[in-house]
Amino acid sequence: PDSRSTVIIIGAGVSGISAAKVLAENGIADLLILEASDRIGGRIRKESFGGVSVELGAGWIAGVGGKAPNPVWEIAAKFGLRSCFSDYSNARYNIYDQSGKIFPSGIAADSYKKAVDSAIQRLRDQESNCVEDVPDGTESPLTPIELAIDFILHDFEMAGKLFHSCFSLFGFQEKSKVEPISTYVDFGEREYLVADERGYEYLLYKMAEDFLFTSEEKILDNRLKLNKVVRELQHSRNGVTVKTEDGCIYEASYVVLSASIGVLQSDLICFRPPLPRWKTEAIEKCDVMIYTKVFLKFPYKFWPCGPDKEFFIYAHERRGYYTFWQQMENAYPSSNILVVTLTNGESKRVEAQPDEETLKEAMGVLRDMFGSEIPTATDILVPRWWNNRFQRGSYSNYPIISNNQVVNDIKAPVGRIFFTGEHTSERFNGYVHGGYLAGIDTSKALLEEMRKNENTSFLREPLL
């Protein structure tokens, strides 16, 4: 083998880094992190666009201002990460029809109520029939504005949040049996958009700095190996042999695997012997959401600005067609950048087409809303999370009517392979803090296992 370690961590996203940090703090000095891409961060990723840093992946610190502190918010505060409060509640007053008229708030409120009613009905049907998944559009509202709201309630990443606020808005909370979203219950209702030139990923460098050798914001520690695509995990009672695409072989007593649920569903990593059936079945049961932020740069602003205008909605007869828009003026004044969010089927569609085509479609929508004289965007950025073989989607989504058994099975170790990542977080899957906390939990479970089984004199007394 090229090396032998006590623990190999596969993946250097937030969960892999937080797992490695806990292991290092507990005395595991010879850990090794293998990351497929050429950088750390995973789904936390900044890119320079139109003169600023934009976040292609996670953008918000979700769940702030509640009873308990969100750990990611605390880390962000410690390192002075710049962020701006996002007020979603105004989005419903900024809904445009195809002729550029804003819907009066009365109509918007009625459509909201209708969409929420139909959503509750759908959930009740699912609960009473114990149907795991009701096909999309079963009872879908018909008018463009209802379609737009239905899309936001179901497909949009902040679905949980909006859903939550709709229920309280219309006094449905008691009546509905819908589980509230743990993130907002535990950590608070507020969301902050990260707007820092160093990127959201700066937090990961700061976390890594605690246990890896770094210099000038660069990790120079050979326990982190980039461009190492793990293709095979051969595991037995004695240990795990890890093979990478470039032909290297690494041995370890244990492996912590943080690859996303989309990657686990793909054939990127081959397990020898294969994973047991209870495990593969659980992995298949978890849905993968695709969430795409398309960034557009303009020579000047032609959209209304102000704190209550951060978000606006386009109502079209095709559900999810360039529906949810955000202007970046609050985050980056004078950047002249708009972001439109596409999900699932629409994400796959734009990922597969040339960016010029996406630009043309987006401009058509903007001209519907703001008139034909507006300037054409000078630049476009279309992230491709679905076609990225190290991601295969944006985040996990457990079916609403699923019991905890699915997530428990996804999280459960198989022999010496321990699973981590946002998808293993029972309460916070789909979020950065979910990944962060999952990494800590997985390492705690692994340390406990090691203390039981091994000669662990090298382990420090539990710090946990």
Residues within the interface to ligand FAD (CB under 6 A): 10-16, 34-37, 42-44, 57-60, 62, 157, 229-230, 258-260, 263, 268-269, 291, 293, 385, 390-391, 394-395, 421-422, 430-432, 434-435
Closer residue to ligand FAD, CB minimum distance, 141 or 435: 435
SS3 labels along 158-226: CHHHHHHHHHHHCCCCCCCCCCCCHHHHHHCCEEEEECCCCCCCHHHHHHHHCCCCEECCEECCCCEEC
Q: Is 63 or 141 the residue whose CB approaches ligand FAD more closely?
A: 63
Shortest Cβ distance from residue 192 to ligand FAD (Å)? 10
* Inter-helix orientation angle 159-169/105-129, to 10°: 110
User: Smallest gap, in angstroms, from Cβ of residue 244 to ligand FAD?
Assistant: 7
Minimum CB separation of residue 313 from ligand FAD in Å reads 18
Q: What is the DSSP letter of 414?
A: B
Which residue type occupies 298? F
**Shortest CB 453 distance to ligand FAD, Å:** 26
Cβ closer to ligand FAD: 90 or 265?
A: 265
Shortest Å distance, C-beta 441 to ligand FAD: 12
Q: Which of 298/386 has CB closer to ligand FAD?
A: 386
CA distance 143 to 387: 32
- Rank residues 118 and 397 by Cβ distance to ligand FAD and give the closer one: 397
Considering beta carbons, is residue 54 or 120 the nearer one to ligand FAD? 54
CA distance 23 to 18: 9
Residue with smaller CB distance to ligand FAD, 250 or 312: 250
Hey, what amino acid is at 79? F
Alpha-helix runs per DSSP H in 212-337: 261-265, 277-285
In whole angstroms, how close is the CB of 13 to ligand FAD at the nearest point? 2
Q: Strands, E, within 298-416: which ranges?
A: 311-314, 324-327, 337-343, 379-381, 395-397
Between β-strands 287-289 and 337-343, what pairing exists: parallel, antiparallel or unpaired?
Answer: unpaired
Smallest gap from Cβ 279 to ligand FAD, in A, equals: 17
- Confirm if 359 and 380 have CB atoms less than 8 A apart: yes
What does 81-115 look like in DSSP terms, one character per residue? --EEE--GGGGGG-EE-TTSPBPPHHHHHHHHHHH
Q: C-beta of 132: minimal distance to ligand FAD in Å?
A: 23
Q: Please check whether residue 96 is in contact with residue 314, taking contact to mean a CB–CB distance below 8 angstroms.
A: yes
d(CA 369, CA 150): 20
Distance CA 243, CA 45 (A): 26
Q: What's the min distance (Å) between Cβ of 44 and ligand FAD?
A: 5
Instruction: Give the distance, in angstroms, between the CA of residue 249 and the centroid of all CA atoms in the same chain.
Output: 31
Nearer to ligand FAD, 203 or 369 (CB): 203
Looking at beta carbons only, is 269 or 315 nearer to ligand FAD? 269
